[in-house]
Amino acid sequence: MTTLTELTELSESAATCTRCDLYKRATQTVFGEGGAGAALVFVGEQPGDQEDKQGHPFVGPAGRVLDRALADSGIVRSDAYVTNAVKHFKWTERGKRRIHERPGSTEIRACRPWLEDELRLVRPRLIVLLGAVAGESVFGSSFRVGTYRGKITDASVGSWQGPAVGTIHPSAVLRGPDPEARDQAYAGLVADLKVAREAAGL
């Protein structure tokens, strides 16, 4: 049975990762967090500005949306392990702000071994893919959120095999052009998370 020590050791190994060039501009590696044996693993895209600064996944605005959606879908955060497909923040400078930039396929592939190791150790019942980058890390560049969202699909990531459910990234809720669009996006996210919870038997 996996212990928390093994996950900690894996996180420490990732702290010095240089498999792609993103480490050169990032503040630090932001590894996954949660308990060994978590029933659900949530895979996001990459750390954002706040995650890069604080060193923890989903602690910025999108993280607050995810926390609320978890609660509204009946998922207890302690039942989950939260990580990202890419562990370093990719950004471009705009004035004094660091603006998120989508990771490329090369960076997604370079980081996949870390996700494989996380899933091997956590051994979740099901993984939830939050957005296109997370989906690409598991299913390849043909992944489309609209095709996979809210559906249970067999996935294979390294030695781990099991069901996956796709959905939007929580940041998509924040990008809605108006309150109605944001409410609709949020309701869809919650509905997809309920599918994941039920499929995981929680």
Structural domain range at position 119: 4-199
Closest C-alpha among 47, 19, 39 to residue 113: 19
Percent of residues in the chain assigned helix, strand, coil, to nearest 5: 45, 20, 35
pLDDT for residue 140: 94
> Residue 37: is its pLDDT beyond 80?
yes
Q: How much of the chain, in percent, has pLDDT values that exceed 90?
A: 89
Q: What is the pLDDT of residues 182-199, one digit of tens each?
A: 999 999 999 999 999 999
The pLDDT score that the predictor gives to residue 36 is 85
pLDDT for residue 160 is more than 90: yes
Q: Are 166 and 150 in contact (CB under 8 A)?
A: yes
Handedness of CA 33, 123, 187, 105 (dihedral sign): positive
Residue 35: the pLDDT is 82
Per-residue pLDDT tens over the stretch 111-135: 999 999 999 999 999 999 999 999 9
Average pLDDT rounded to a whole number, residues 66-90: 95
**Per-residue pLDDT tens digits for 85-103:** 999 999 998 888 888 899 9
What pLDDT shows up at residue 100? 85
Over 106-146, what HEC string results? HHHHHHHHHHHHHHHHHCCCEEEEECHHHHHHHHCCCCCHH
The widest CA-to-CA distance across the chain, in whole angstroms, is: 49
pLDDT at 93: 86
Reported in sequence order, the residue ranges of the chain that DSSP labels E, i.e. its strands, are 33-34, 40-44, 80-84, 91-94, 97-100, 126-130, 152-157, 160-167
Report, as an integer, the average pLDDT of 61-85: 95
pLDDT by residue (tens digit) across 16-31? 999 999 999 999 999 9
Mean pLDDT of the chain: 94
**137, pLDDT greater than 80:** yes
How many domains does the chain divide into? 1
Residue 60: CATH number of its domain: 3.40.470.10
DSSP label of 75: -
As a whole number, mean pLDDT of residues 58-69 equals 96
3: pLDDT strictly greater than 80:
no
